[in-house]
Amino acid sequence: MEQRSRISDFEILQKIGKGSYGQVFRVKRKIDQNFYCLKQIDIQQLNLKEQQDTIQEVTLLAKLNSPYIIRYYDSFIDNGMLNIIMELADQGNLAEYIQKQKITKKPIPEDIVWKFLIEISIGLYHIHSNKVIHRDVKTLNIFLAKNNTVKIGDLGVAKLLDTHSFAQTTVGTPYYLSPELIHQIFGHQDVQYMNFVLIPNPLKHLIKELLQ
Protein backbone atom coordinates (compact mmCIF):
# COMPACT_ATOMS: atom_id res chain seq x y z
CA MET A 1 0.00 0.00 0.00
CA GLU A 2 1.31 3.44 -0.90
CA GLN A 3 1.38 5.80 2.04
CA ARG A 4 -0.65 8.94 2.70
CA SER A 5 -4.12 7.67 2.04
CA ARG A 6 -7.42 9.47 2.58
CA ILE A 7 -10.52 8.17 4.30
CA SER A 8 -12.37 8.41 0.97
CA ASP A 9 -10.00 5.72 -0.35
CA PHE A 10 -11.75 3.16 1.85
CA GLU A 11 -15.20 1.66 2.19
CA ILE A 12 -16.10 1.12 5.84
CA LEU A 13 -17.75 -2.29 6.08
CA GLN A 14 -18.15 -3.14 9.73
CA LYS A 15 -17.36 -1.86 13.20
CA ILE A 16 -15.32 -4.56 14.91
CA GLY A 17 -14.17 -2.92 18.10
CA LYS A 18 -14.21 0.06 20.40
CA GLY A 19 -11.58 1.18 22.87
CA SER A 20 -10.97 4.03 25.24
CA TYR A 21 -9.32 6.05 22.47
CA GLY A 22 -11.42 5.28 19.43
CA GLN A 23 -13.14 2.77 17.19
CA VAL A 24 -11.92 -0.03 14.95
CA PHE A 25 -13.44 -0.92 11.58
CA ARG A 26 -13.10 -3.55 8.91
CA VAL A 27 -12.57 -1.64 5.67
CA LYS A 28 -11.96 -2.30 1.98
CA ARG A 29 -9.57 -0.22 -0.07
CA LYS A 30 -11.40 0.83 -3.22
CA ILE A 31 -8.45 0.82 -5.58
CA ASP A 32 -7.41 -2.80 -5.01
CA GLN A 33 -10.38 -4.32 -3.09
CA ASN A 34 -8.06 -5.48 -0.31
CA PHE A 35 -9.32 -5.63 3.27
CA TYR A 36 -7.69 -3.77 6.15
CA CYS A 37 -8.26 -2.78 9.75
CA LEU A 38 -8.90 0.91 10.36
CA LYS A 39 -8.37 2.35 13.83
CA GLN A 40 -10.00 5.76 13.97
CA ILE A 41 -9.28 8.19 16.80
CA ASP A 42 -10.73 11.63 17.43
CA ILE A 43 -7.50 13.30 18.51
CA GLN A 44 -9.29 16.54 19.36
CA GLN A 45 -11.02 14.75 22.24
CA LEU A 46 -7.77 13.44 23.75
CA ASN A 47 -5.73 15.05 26.47
CA LEU A 48 -1.99 15.51 26.01
CA LYS A 49 -1.07 12.15 27.58
CA GLU A 50 -3.58 10.29 25.41
CA GLN A 51 -2.28 12.06 22.30
CA GLN A 52 1.26 11.00 23.20
CA ASP A 53 0.15 7.39 23.72
CA THR A 54 -1.59 7.38 20.34
CA ILE A 55 1.40 8.82 18.51
CA GLN A 56 3.62 6.28 20.27
CA GLU A 57 1.46 3.40 19.03
CA VAL A 58 1.77 4.61 15.43
CA THR A 59 5.53 5.06 15.81
CA LEU A 60 5.98 1.58 17.26
CA LEU A 61 3.78 -0.11 14.67
CA ALA A 62 5.75 1.49 11.83
CA LYS A 63 8.98 0.26 13.41
CA LEU A 64 8.00 -3.42 13.61
CA ASN A 65 7.90 -6.00 10.82
CA SER A 66 7.11 -9.59 11.78
CA PRO A 67 4.60 -12.19 10.55
CA TYR A 68 3.42 -12.46 14.17
CA ILE A 69 2.73 -8.76 14.79
CA ILE A 70 -0.15 -6.73 13.35
CA ARG A 71 1.36 -4.97 10.35
CA TYR A 72 1.20 -1.20 10.01
CA TYR A 73 0.46 0.21 6.55
CA ASP A 74 -0.35 3.89 6.83
CA SER A 75 -1.64 6.69 9.05
CA PHE A 76 -3.17 10.03 8.21
CA ILE A 77 -5.38 12.78 9.64
CA ASP A 78 -8.68 13.44 7.91
CA ASN A 79 -11.37 15.79 9.27
CA GLY A 80 -9.75 15.90 12.69
CA MET A 81 -9.57 12.11 12.96
CA LEU A 82 -6.36 10.13 13.16
CA ASN A 83 -6.72 7.07 10.94
CA ILE A 84 -4.35 4.12 11.32
CA ILE A 85 -4.46 1.49 8.58
CA MET A 86 -3.33 -1.92 9.76
CA GLU A 87 -3.40 -5.57 8.83
CA LEU A 88 -6.78 -7.21 9.33
CA ALA A 89 -6.66 -10.30 11.54
CA ASP A 90 -10.17 -11.49 10.79
CA GLN A 91 -10.31 -14.61 12.96
CA GLY A 92 -10.91 -12.72 16.20
CA ASN A 93 -8.61 -12.80 19.21
CA LEU A 94 -7.22 -15.49 21.46
CA ALA A 95 -9.70 -14.71 24.25
CA GLU A 96 -12.60 -15.41 21.88
CA TYR A 97 -10.93 -18.58 20.64
CA ILE A 98 -10.52 -19.90 24.18
CA GLN A 99 -14.11 -18.99 25.05
CA LYS A 100 -15.43 -20.87 22.01
CA GLN A 101 -13.49 -23.95 23.10
CA LYS A 102 -14.99 -23.68 26.58
CA ILE A 103 -18.52 -23.40 25.21
CA THR A 104 -18.09 -26.46 23.01
CA LYS A 105 -16.28 -28.23 25.88
CA LYS A 106 -13.45 -29.13 23.53
CA PRO A 107 -9.92 -28.92 24.94
CA ILE A 108 -7.42 -27.00 22.84
CA PRO A 109 -5.12 -29.57 21.18
CA GLU A 110 -1.62 -29.58 22.61
CA ASP A 111 -0.02 -28.88 19.22
CA ILE A 112 -2.19 -25.76 18.84
CA VAL A 113 -1.20 -24.54 22.30
CA TRP A 114 2.47 -24.96 21.37
CA LYS A 115 1.85 -23.21 18.04
CA PHE A 116 0.37 -20.20 19.83
CA LEU A 117 3.17 -20.07 22.40
CA ILE A 118 5.91 -20.34 19.78
CA GLU A 119 4.40 -17.65 17.55
CA ILE A 120 3.82 -15.33 20.51
CA SER A 121 7.43 -15.89 21.59
CA ILE A 122 8.78 -15.12 18.11
CA GLY A 123 6.64 -11.97 17.92
CA LEU A 124 7.80 -10.79 21.34
CA TYR A 125 11.41 -11.54 20.42
CA HIS A 126 11.07 -9.23 17.41
CA ILE A 127 9.48 -6.53 19.57
CA HIS A 128 12.25 -6.81 22.16
CA SER A 129 14.93 -6.85 19.43
CA ASN A 130 13.69 -3.38 18.48
CA LYS A 131 14.12 -2.23 22.09
CA VAL A 132 10.38 -2.20 22.73
CA ILE A 133 8.32 -3.95 25.40
CA HIS A 134 4.60 -4.45 24.93
CA ARG A 135 3.59 -4.28 28.63
CA ASP A 136 0.04 -5.54 28.09
CA VAL A 137 0.34 -9.01 26.58
CA LYS A 138 -3.01 -10.72 27.10
CA THR A 139 -5.42 -12.86 25.12
CA LEU A 140 -7.51 -9.83 24.07
CA ASN A 141 -4.43 -8.28 22.44
CA ILE A 142 -3.38 -11.42 20.58
CA PHE A 143 -5.29 -11.62 17.33
CA LEU A 144 -5.70 -14.53 14.94
CA ALA A 145 -5.39 -14.43 11.16
CA LYS A 146 -5.72 -17.12 8.50
CA ASN A 147 -4.83 -20.61 9.76
CA ASN A 148 -5.00 -19.18 13.30
CA THR A 149 -1.67 -17.43 12.87
CA VAL A 150 -0.91 -15.27 15.90
CA LYS A 151 -0.78 -11.50 15.42
CA ILE A 152 0.28 -9.45 18.45
CA GLY A 153 -1.46 -6.09 18.50
CA ASP A 154 -2.53 -3.10 20.58
CA LEU A 155 0.79 -1.41 21.37
CA GLY A 156 -0.83 1.60 23.03
CA VAL A 157 1.00 1.09 26.34
CA ALA A 158 4.24 -0.25 24.85
CA LYS A 159 7.47 1.43 25.82
CA LEU A 160 10.58 2.20 23.80
CA LEU A 161 13.77 1.45 25.72
CA ASP A 162 17.22 2.88 25.30
CA THR A 163 20.19 0.54 25.54
CA HIS A 164 20.74 1.16 29.25
CA SER A 165 17.23 1.07 30.66
CA PHE A 166 14.33 -1.22 31.32
CA ALA A 167 10.74 -0.49 32.27
CA GLN A 168 10.33 0.71 35.83
CA THR A 169 6.58 1.21 35.95
CA THR A 170 3.76 -1.26 36.39
CA VAL A 171 1.48 -1.04 33.36
CA GLY A 172 -0.93 -3.63 32.05
CA THR A 173 -4.10 -5.54 32.77
CA PRO A 174 -4.14 -6.67 36.45
CA TYR A 175 -5.63 -10.10 35.68
CA TYR A 176 -2.53 -10.94 33.63
CA LEU A 177 0.17 -9.48 35.86
CA SER A 178 2.73 -11.91 37.20
CA PRO A 179 3.25 -12.18 40.99
CA GLU A 180 6.61 -10.43 40.55
CA LEU A 181 4.95 -7.42 38.96
CA ILE A 182 2.21 -7.34 41.54
CA HIS A 183 4.90 -7.16 44.22
CA GLN A 184 6.69 -4.35 42.36
CA ILE A 185 9.60 -6.37 40.94
CA PHE A 186 10.20 -4.91 37.49
CA GLY A 187 11.79 -5.82 34.16
CA HIS A 188 11.11 -8.40 31.43
CA GLN A 189 7.40 -7.73 31.76
CA ASP A 190 6.29 -9.28 28.48
CA VAL A 191 7.78 -12.67 29.36
CA GLN A 192 6.07 -12.53 32.74
CA TYR A 193 2.73 -11.68 31.13
CA MET A 194 3.07 -14.45 28.55
CA ASN A 195 3.34 -17.07 31.30
CA PHE A 196 -0.36 -16.49 31.93
CA VAL A 197 -1.73 -15.58 28.50
CA LEU A 198 -3.16 -19.04 27.87
CA ILE A 199 -3.79 -20.00 31.50
CA PRO A 200 -4.57 -16.82 33.48
CA ASN A 201 -6.83 -18.48 36.08
CA PRO A 202 -4.06 -19.37 38.61
CA LEU A 203 -3.65 -15.64 39.28
CA LYS A 204 -7.32 -14.96 39.91
CA HIS A 205 -7.43 -15.51 43.66
CA LEU A 206 -4.02 -13.92 44.27
CA ILE A 207 -4.95 -10.72 42.45
CA LYS A 208 -8.37 -10.58 44.11
CA GLU A 209 -6.68 -10.87 47.49
CA LEU A 210 -4.05 -8.23 46.71
CA LEU A 211 -6.56 -5.73 45.30
CA GLN A 212 -8.95 -5.93 48.24
The residues assigned a catalytic role are 136
Q: Which of 200, 181, 201 shows the shortest CA–CA distance to 190?
A: 181
Instruction: Name the DSSP class of 184.
Output: T
Calpha distance 99→118 (Å, rounded): 21
Q: 116 near 150, Cβ under 8 Å?
A: yes
**What span, in angstroms and rounded, lies between the C-alpha atoms of 158 and 15?**
25
For residue 114, count CB atoms less than 10 angstroms from its CB and return exposed for 0-12, middle for 13-18, buried for 19 or more.
Answer: exposed
Alpha-carbon distance of 156 to 106, in angstroms, equals 33
38 and 84 Cβ atoms separated by less than 8 Å = yes
